[in-house]
Amino acid sequence: MDNIAITDVTRDGWNIVSVTGRVDGITADQLEVALKNAVAIHGQVAVDCSGIDYISSAGLRALLEGARAAQLATRKFIVCSPSARAKQVFDISRMHLVLPMQESLPC
């Protein structure tokens, strides 16, 4: 059973991809596809992580693949508003060293 919801909305030139629920080995591929699709269409993509309850290494990989796709397409990509649980995983894994992150959405 999937425990993830991914929605997107465009605001002030940014495509905001909001993620809610668990990002794990079962759901990470859905996130990766959504991020790559957003990057293919939009020049600026922000991933709203405020609704993430849990993120595994597979979820981190999905974010990295989205960022890589953005880099290859010379698009802006940032990870924003991490929930307390997501921030803890980001801090432990030191993802802030390889992914652009900020505490709030850009718009």
47-91 pLDDT, tens digit each: 999 999 999 999 999 999 999 999 999 999 999 999 999 999 999
- Report yes or no on 107 lying in a domain: no
Q: Which of these, 21, 17, 4, lies nearest to 63 by C-alpha position?
A: 17
| 30 φ, ψ (degrees, to nearest 5) | -60, -40
Q: Enumerate the β-bridge partners of residue 76.
A: 44
> Count of CB atoms within 10 A of residue 75's CB?
18
Q: Tens digit of pLDDT for each residue in 31-55? A: 999 999 999 999 999 999 999 999 9
- Angle 87-5-67 (CA atoms, 0-180°, nearest 5)? 55
How many folded domains does the chain comprise? 1
**Residue 14 within any structural domain of the chain:** yes
Whether residue 17 lies inside any domain: the answer is yes
Tell whether 64 is covered by a domain: yes
Q: Which residues, 6+ apart, have CB-to-CB distance to 8 below 8 Å?
A: 15, 16, 17, 18, 34, 38
- Tell me the whole-structure pTM to 2 decimals: 0.94
Q: What is the CATH number of the domain that holds 94?
A: 3.30.750.24
- Domain assignment present for residue 61? The answer is yes
Its domain, for residue 67, covers: 4-102
